[in-house]
Structure formats: C-alpha cells, structure tokens
C-alpha cells in the first residue's frame, strides 16, 4: 500500500521508476556512443569537462522533473477538491 511505503520510507519513484519507451532507450544508447567517441577524441582534461557537463545537466534535469512533479501533483489535488465541491453543490440542491 502506498501510504505504508511512504510512512516506512520505502517510496522512491525517482530512483525506481525508469522509462522504458523506445525513444528513451535509443537516446541512452546514442549518448553512450557519443561519450565513447568523445573519450577517444578528447584529451583527459577536456573529457573530464564533458563528464562534469553531463553530471550538472543531470542534476538540472532532476530538479526540473521534481518541480514538474510538484506542480502536477498539486494541480491534481486542486482538481479533486473542485470535483468534490461540485458534487456537494449538486447533492445540496
């Protein structure tokens, strides 16, 4: 049950949920191939910069995903609240 998982600290969707779409898988494969090419072509110092760029980009994307989740979840709760209020109005008539 979701409430038990949250209470017990076992709910980590950002760590456990991984997209499985063909586009996602293909993008990962392409990134891996590009990183391999760069590792062969660049100096160690330049490749280290590319790795740091990739790390920082991942952090930024994670932050963006978290923000979108919060906004989407909040909007869903507002929709639910509005729906409950509408049903109450109908039942009160």
- Written as tens digits, the pLDDT of the chain (93 aa) is 888 998 999 988 888 888 999 999 999 999 999 999 999 999 999 999 999 999 999 999 999 999 999 999 999 999 999 999 999 999 997
Q: Tally the residues of the chain.
A: 93
Sign of CA dihedral 82, 84, 90, 93: negative
Q: Around Cβ 51, how many Cβ atoms within 10 Å? A: 13
User: Which tokens hold the place of 87?
Assistant: 């049903």
pTM for this prediction: 0.72
Give the Cα separation of 3 and 23 in Å (integer): 32
Q: What tokens were used for 90? A: 């109908």
User: Can you read off the two tokens belonging to residue 26?
Assistant: 């293909």
In this prediction, residue 14 carries a pLDDT of 81
Residue 3 pLDDT? 87
């Amino acid at each position: 049950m979701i409430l038990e998982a949250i209470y017990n600290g076992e709910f980590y969707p950002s760590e456990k949920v991984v997209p499985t779409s063909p586009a996602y898988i293909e993008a990962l494969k392409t990134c891996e191939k590009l990183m391999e090419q760069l590792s062969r072509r660049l100096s160690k110092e330049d490749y280290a910069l590319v790795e740091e760029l990739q790390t920082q980009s991942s952090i930024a994307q994670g932050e963006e995903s978290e923000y979108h989740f919060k906004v989407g979840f909040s909007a869903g709760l507002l929709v639910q609240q509005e729906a409950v209020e509408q049903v109450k109005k109908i039942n009160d008539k």
